[in-house]
Structure 1
Amino acid sequence: MSRLLIPNPNASIVSLTSPFTRGSLRTIKDALSVAYTTKYPISPTETHAAVLIPLCNLNDNPGLLLEVRGKLRAHSGEVSFPGGKVDPTDESVLHAALREAEEEVGIDADKIEILGRLGPPTRSLSGLRVWPYVAFLHEKPYGSTSDIDDTSPLPSPPLSSLTLSQVEVAAVFHLPLNRLTDSRYLREHQFRGSTSYWACDATDLVAPGIEWSNACANLEDEVGVGFDGRLEIWGLTGWYLNLFMKIFFAGRSH
């Protein structure tokens, strides 16, 4: 018998099938602020990275934007959130996440509404301390959309409008929130061999013709190509995704 229980979508603090609204984003933001109150120091002796966990509405369907990485030296052909290594010129860890999102998928920082963060920031297998920030992607600068009321769907940029880095990103796709409560797509996995979480199959969400299946040279890396050759969200990306979804069903974590 599995040690994990698939969450009941009816128990979520916001709908998993109705588009995100100002009201639902406020609920998520409040839950994040309650769940993650610990202040984590940024050690100057470590190398840091930052990622966005970007919520978006696609055809009035709530979900998240994820990438399939290009043919790079590390994590080639794998699934990840937008983000990357903090540069010396970055004003902050969060600034690095915003900069990388613009470089990788062409979304301006003024269209990214930060809702909160997850914690604790975990080290990748390559030694980076990865800081995850939850955000919502607006189609227009979100400061200019005050006329949208609390119950109306918030528009996000269509995938076709994004400008992908030809080097870093092979494809982007939309992961519907309700997939994360659908047993057909979930596989129990062990994070770092000790803690159970759900890996999620995303094979069918990527446009045909994207060469991801044989692009990963090292299947022990922590994101992307997973069980039986499927394109899965697992490893550190999957772990952060699970931590985020716990907010929907528990409200408190660390």
Structure 2
Amino acid sequence: MLQRTIATTSRVLPPNTASPFLSFSSPLTRASLAAIRTALSKDAQSYPPVDADAHETHAAVLIPLCNVDNTPGILLEVRGKLRTHSGEVSFPGGKVDSTDPSFLAAALRETHEEVGITSDQIDILGQVGPPQLSLGGMRVWPFVGFVHSSVQFREDTTADPEAPLPNINLSSLVLSPKEVAYAFHLPFTAMVAPRRLREHQFRGGQPYWAISVADLIRSDGKVEWETDPLQRDEIGAGRGGSLEVWGLTGWYLSLCLRALAIYQ
């Protein structure tokens, strides 16, 4: 399996407190989206391309950047009571269907089905990779996009590129009752907060930060965490019953933040 080459170290380095591509404290703008798109394109040149194998089963996810309450961050979800990975933090996404014209189309379709965000609200900024195999054997293709509050704001080409892009309203999201228990916003400031970070090894290999997010979830219900009798990595909500961004989701988030010079 192709693995991305990262500086050889037994420990993950502390995150940076700023990024040259975006502000942690002010909303994302069209100018910052352009900078992020450039950063992702440049980063893609640092790892070898992976051809889609027709004999593999494929899945696709969207890493959705957005502004919420004038704070930039990423939209995540907690999976509902599903046959696998219930109660885990994940990006919107799922298995690629035979009717999907592309992996990206699958990620956009799943995002609409799971959280009600339409494809014409999303600016695709790039990809991170290389795509990894899930523990279930699917090759997972991760795309990065920005979620606009409406189609009109996305299509407004006359807007000031430095003006803050409008917020999305989490309460207006239409969650799939069968697939999604919660949707929540993870600010960039939370991704670098030392109290939230726990060093972990992706499948026993390369280090990354798992991020504690339990306090960001609404408390109006309970999520049943899945346990794995084989004690494999990436199964469950997090270590010790805590709710974390970790496993393949945490790894892809880490790759995205490294491309944006937030993680080292």
TM-score, normalised by the number of residues in structure 1 = 0.93
Equivalent-residue separation in structure 1 for 2:154 and 2:238 (angstroms): 39
Counterpart in the other structure of 1:15: 23
Q: 1:179 aligns with which of 190, 193, 205?
A: 190
Equivalent-residue separation in structure 1 for 2:201 and 2:136 (angstroms): 18
Q: Indicate how the Cα distance of structure 1 residues 182 and 246 shifts in structure 2: closer, same or farther if over 3 A, else same.
A: same
Q: Is the Cα contact below 8 Å between 2:19 and 2:262 reproduced in 1? A: no
Counterpart in the other structure of 1:194: 205
Residues 138-170 of structure 1, C-alpha deviations (whole Å, 9 max, x = no match): 011154222321111111421011000000000
Q: Secondary structure at the match of 2:12?
A: coil
Q: Indicate how the Cα distance of structure 1 residues 221 and 160 shifts in structure 2: closer, same or farther if over 3 A, else same.
A: farther
Letter in 2 for 1:4: V
Q: Is the Cα contact below 8 Å between 2:16 and 2:262 reproduced in 1? A: no
Q: 1:169 aligns with which of 175, 180, 190?
A: 180
Equivalent-residue separation in structure 2 for 1:139 and 1:216 (angstroms): 33
Counterpart in the other structure of 1:85: 95
Q: Is the Cα contact below 8 Å between 1:80 and 1:224 reproduced in 2? A: no
Q: Indicate how the Cα distance of structure 1 residues 211 and 220 shifts in structure 2: closer, same or farther if over 3 A, else same.
A: farther
Q: 1:112 aligns with which of 108, 115, 122?
A: 122
RMSD: 2.0
Residues 13-32 of structure 1, C-alpha deviations (whole Å, 9 max, x = no match): 32122110001111000000
Alignment of 1:249 onto 2:261: yes
Q: Is the Cα contact below 8 Å between 2:17 and 2:262 reproduced in 1? A: no
- Segments of 5+ residues of structure 1 without an aligned counterpart are none
Q: 2:227 aligns with which of 217, 226, 229?
A: 217
1:105 CA displacement: 0.3
Q: Is the Cα contact below 8 Å between 1:70 and 1:76 reproduced in 2? A: yes
Residues 96-131 of structure 1, C-alpha deviations (whole Å, 9 max, x = no match): 000000000001100011000011000011101000
Alignment of 1:132 onto 2:142: yes
Alignment of 1:27 onto 2:13: no
Equivalent-residue separation in structure 2 for 1:177 and 1:224 (angstroms): 24
Q: Indicate how the Cα distance of structure 1 residues 158 and 224 shifts in structure 2: closer, same or farther if over 3 A, else same.
A: farther
Equivalent-residue separation in structure 2 for 1:113 and 1:164 (angstroms): 21
- Segments of 5+ residues of structure 2 without an aligned counterpart are 1-9
Q: Secondary structure at the match of 2:120?
A: helix
Equivalent-residue separation in structure 1 for 2:216 and 2:131 (angstroms): 28
Equivalent-residue separation in structure 2 for 1:132 and 1:167 (angstroms): 23
Letter in 1 for 2:57: T
Report sequence identity in percent. 52
